Structure 1
């Protein structure tokens, strides 16, 4: 069922996942028949507009498109899970656009996969379409511009106002126009499995108070299980430290949502506790990907 807040113009298919919120004024315009699929637990802000001239649009679970984002698709737009796109961002799939999981793009940024300017009949060569690939966990801080044909490697950070005109490898920091690498900067450090588990345990302790959940007794080492305190709420969410404990957790807790901190994967059960806990963790703590 298509959400009542979406205005659809033209012939195309629109699929909206479970738990997804759609604000007023969202518009999808089909110039050619195509498919727009928005995953589960997504958030589409007011005034977001899709202009689809062929090429499917696929938006992964937990992704947020904030106010007045513009998505253009001719060759297709694919966005992974846990994306975040600030207001007035332009995502151009004229030449094809592929965005990985956990990508954050700050407000007023523009990602272009085509260029077109003067008249070709007069010899202008500023015309073309080239695909853009933005890999997992890239952060374009804000007011960034990405030119057509580039690939931005995993965990790269482009500081505010960066003008990215060529491809870059993983885990670099960029700044300027044209964007250049800032050799002295790095925003990631190595975290051990034990440290990850300790951080998760601390965050869940905080969420017990914030969300009104409680830890279940009987969990073994490397397993954390929680349920609602409220009467009649029997759904649970369970975290395991590694795959070796995953089956034991499934046997012990039945139909609970089980999240593996090692693989960062979980199986959706579509329960309220799943939605609220994973959303609370997903901003900048830990983002679990649905299998």
Structure 2
């Protein structure tokens, strides 16, 4: 029974990728990947996805073949069905809470022009992700102690300030000031946290 319990805690996908010689991620001391978490590191370098000490990932972390890097600090939580997709750089500070079903993107993910978009998708279907591509990449930074609510979406170029809170379902297209709450689509400032709430 103990062996079955241990197997249920193993991320089989990660083990299979490593056995096949594919790049995955760097897991620091105490960091865990939930059995349903997924790592898709098209960069081919495990150092491009780094999960800091004592952090837990239940969602998906992906880099594109032409670029992308994900850095997660210590004591962070990435909820189930959340997706962090990087073509430039997505950086989470320490003690960041990303609830379930959150999406974080640092690029457009597809070209704007229809013909270029079709060419990209055809390339992916036939040969894998393109090694050269421009997707208007712009890094995302989520500072220490931020909280991203369930179902929120953080778009390219956004910085969520220290202690910032993104409400559930918000679509964030602009920077979030430190110790403030944003909500809505597009997200707007709701209020600043008082000194005793920080």
| Same fold? TM cut 0.5 | yes
Q: CA deviation at 1:94?
A: 1.5
CA separation in 2, counterparts of 1:41 and 1:159? 29
CA 1:122/1:35 → structure 2, altered by over 3 Å: closer, same or farther? closer
Matched, 1:87 2:80: yes
CA 1:147/1:40 → structure 2, altered by over 3 Å: closer, same or farther? same
Aligned partner of residue 170 in structure 1, secondary structure: coil
Where does residue 42 of structure 2 map in the other structure?
A: 53
Structure with more contact order per residue of length (Cα contacts < 8 Å, sep ≥ 6) = 2
Alignment of structure 1 residues 1-291 onto 2, 5 Å: 23-27=10-14, 36-54=25-43, 56-66=48-58, 69-73=59-63, 74-115=67-108, 116-119=110-113, 121=115, 127-183=135-191, 186=193, 189=196
Give the TM-score taking structure 2 as reference length: 0.73
Aligned partner of residue 182 in structure 1, secondary structure: strand
RMSD over aligned Cα, in angstroms? 2.9
Unmatched segments (≥5 aa) in structure 2: 1-7, 118-133
Give the TM-score taking structure 1 as reference length: 0.51
Where does residue 127 of structure 2 map in the other structure?
A: none
Are the counterparts in 1 of residues 139 and 158 from structure 2 also a CA contact under 8 Å?
Answer: yes
Q: CA deviation at 1:96?
A: 1.2
CA 1:127/1:121 → structure 2, altered by over 3 Å: closer, same or farther? same
Which of 101-110 and 72-81 deviates more?
72-81
Unmatched segments (≥5 aa) in structure 1: 1-20, 192-291
CA separation in 2, counterparts of 1:118 and 1:103? 32
CA separation in 2, counterparts of 1:187 and 1:80? 26
User: Radius of gyration: which is bigger?
Assistant: 1
Equivalenced residues, count: 166
CA separation in 2, counterparts of 1:33 and 1:46? 18
CA separation in 1, counterparts of 2:175 and 2:72? 19
CA separation in 1, counterparts of 2:183 and 2:190? 7
Q: CA deviation at 1:169?
A: 2.1
